[in-house]
Structure 1
Amino acid sequence: MSEETSKIPQATSKRLPLYYRFLQNFANAGKKRVSSSELSEAMKIDAATIRRDFSHFGALGRKGYGYDVQYLVDFFRQTLDQDEETDVALIGVGSLGNAFLKYNFQKNHNTRIVVAFDPKAPLDGKSISGIPVYHPDKIEEKIKELGVEVVILTVPSRVAQEITDRLVAIGLKGILNFTPVRLAVPDWLRVLTIDLSVELQSLIYFIKNDVKDSQI
Structure 2
Amino acid sequence: MAGEIPKIPQATSKRLPLYYRFLQNFANAGKKRVSSSELSEAMKIDAATIRRDFSHFGALGRKGYGYDVNYLVNFFRRTLDQDEETDVALIGVGSLGNAFLKYNFQKNHNTRIVIAFDPKAPKDGKTLNGIPVFPPSRLEEKIQELGINLVILTVPSRAAQEVTDRLVAIDVKGILNFTPVRLDVPEWMRVHTIDLSVELQTLIYFIKNDVKDSQLE
Same fold (TM over 0.5): yes
1:160 aligns with 2:160: yes
Give runs of aligned pairs for residues 47-126 of structure 1, distance below 5 A: 47-126=47-126
1:188 aligned partner: 188
2:10 aligned partner: 10
Q: What is the one-letter code of the residue matched to 2:74?
A: D
In structure 1, runs of 5+ residues without a counterpart are none
Q: What is the one-letter code of the residue matched to 1:73?
A: V
Tell me, what secondary structure is at the counterpart of 2:198? Answer: helix
Tell me, what secondary structure is at the counterpart of 1:205? Answer: helix
**Counterparts of 2:173 and 2:87, CA distance in 1:** 12
**Structure 1 residue ranges, 4+ long, deviating more than 3 angstroms after superposition:** none
**Counterparts of 1:129 and 1:2, CA distance in 2:** 32
| Matched-pair contact (CA < 8 Å) for 2:2–2:78 | no
**Counterparts of 2:38 and 2:74, CA distance in 1:** 19
Q: Offset of 1:5 from its aligned partner?
A: 2.7
Tell me, what secondary structure is at the counterpart of 2:90? Answer: strand
Q: Deviations over 1:144-177 (max 9, x none)?
A: 0111100000000000000000000000000000
Tell me, what secondary structure is at the counterpart of 1:105? Answer: coil
**Counterparts of 2:114 and 2:33, CA distance in 1:** 37
Q: Deviations over 1:98-124 (max 9, x none)?
A: 000000000000000000000011111
Give runs of aligned pairs for residues 137-216 of structure 1, distance below 5 A: 137-213=137-213
Normalised by the length of structure 2, the TM-score is 0.97
**Counterparts of 2:123 and 2:116, CA distance in 1:** 12
Q: Offset of 1:81 from its aligned partner?
A: 0.1
Q: What is the one-letter code of the residue matched to 1:16?
A: L
Q: Offset of 1:2 from its aligned partner?
A: 5.2
Residue-pair matches, total: 216
